[in-house]
Amino acid sequence: MHTAVVTPKGARRWAAGHPWIFRSDVAERPGVEAGTVRVQDERGKPLGVALWSPTSEISLRLLDRNPEATIDAAWWRDAIDRATARRTGLDRETNAFRLVHGEGDGLPSLVVDRYDRWLVVQLMSAGLEQHREDVVAALRDTLAPAGILARNDVSLRAKEGLATSVELLHGEVPEEIEVQEHGVKYLAAPWGGQKTGAFLDQRDNRALAGQHARGRALDCFSYHGSFALHLARRSEHVVALDVSAQALRRAEENFRRNEFTNGEFVEADAFEYLKARERDRTRFDTIVLDPPAFAKTKASLPAAIRGYKEINLRAMRLLSPGGTLFTASCSFHLSRSLFLEMLHSAAADSGRQMILREITGQPRDHPEVITIPETGYLKGALLAAE
């Protein structure tokens, strides 16, 4: 195996619990293409084994602190077994969950989502791509899936010099898979849906919003209606709103699948819709806001905060007394404290007294490691209006 030498700053990152070493902290590059390399400091002290990405800003991703480790199919099997063990019991709540959350599970740049008997994977670094066969073999050995699909159509791969594609790696994977989640069912779309086919990270938040739902409910940014389904169980009427007509067709299908008849599907821009409802003085007892990431880059953060504030402020004004708002942000760049600051500012301008009932994050299958901020991105808050 070849060796990379890293600067003291690079070594300190690993010592402080973060698995990445950037290009500027590689003192001597290993003389190989992408793959696995040993890493040592400038004094020759071995630090571990890492994935090596020659073209990426993130040059080295820690795999094993044991410098003697051999990264073969058996190593991947052990790692996947450990990730599976962290999720023991989850299959009682759902048949779809994240099995490997990349850096959060010590397997940098690898995502594996399980949908019933099928797996959807994402290989997001040049170093990892070299291990594709061993990873697939380990997944087949440990989980015996009916099929494995690679959703490698993510832009991150371009930074690694990798092609983007959707590719079947093993067996067969259907166009639609029924997900069971805390008592409701919906269809995931592994080949073409967002992310790997569904937003698995909101599972617990959907159940929480469902528990507090009543009366007239509104699910903005509904996608396939997953929050709306949970609201439908306890409310009289649910408006599922999205700009995408195609997403709403799936939401309707999902309502039929659950035999819910209290859904209304509205194709509209959420900003416009909320403004119009404020004008005609409509009131809702339950509102969910689960927008796409408004802050895709750090530079777009100020504009994103204005957007988040606007929808939250309007939603607060639309709540009936005693009404509930569940609001979320999946922008990594909007930290938990900025999210709360934004809510504070929205509440202050809304003229309503809002009580913070719960602050939520990611479910247990999306582990957020506190020394690796990039593993955490989802924030939620449950608020009650006086």
Positions in the binding site for ligand SAH (CB under 6 A): 199, 202, 221-224, 226-227, 242-244, 247, 269-271, 290, 292
- The 3 state secondary structure assigned to 195-262 is CCCCCHHHHHHHHHHHHHCCCEEEEECCCCCHHHHHHHCCCCEEEEEECCHHHHHHHHHHHHHCCCCC
Q: Which is nearer to ligand SAH, 37 or 229 (CB)?
A: 229
Of residues 238, 330, 334, 354, which has the active-site annotation? 330
Q: How far is the CB of 26 from ligand SAH (least distance, A)?
A: 37
Active site residue 220: no
Q: Which is nearer to ligand SAH, 191 or 271 (CB)?
A: 271
- Which 8-state DSSP code applies to residue 9? H
Q: How far is the CB of 328 from ligand SAH (least distance, A)?
A: 8
Q: How far is the CB of 327 from ligand SAH (least distance, A)?
A: 11
Distance CA 241, CA 219 (A): 6
Looking at residue 194, its amino acid is: Q
Bridge partners, residue 333, by sequence: none
Residue pair 109/61 in contact (Cβ under 8 Å)? The answer is: yes
Looking at residue 182, its amino acid is: H
Q: Which is nearer to ligand SAH, 42 or 269 (CB)?
A: 269
Q: How far is the CB of 132 from ligand SAH (least distance, A)?
A: 29
- Strands of the 26-28 sheet, one edge to the other: 20-22, 58-64, 46-52, 35-41, 3-6, 26-28
Q: Which is nearer to ligand SAH, 293 or 384 (CB)?
A: 293
DSSP one-letter string for 324-347: EEEEEE--TTS-HHHHHHHHHHHH
Q: Which is nearer to ligand SAH, 59 or 202 (CB)?
A: 202
Residue 79 host element (H or E) = helix 73-85
Distance CA 153, CA 162 (A): 10
Q: How far is the CB of 189 from ligand SAH (least distance, A)?
A: 11
Residues serving a catalytic function are: 330
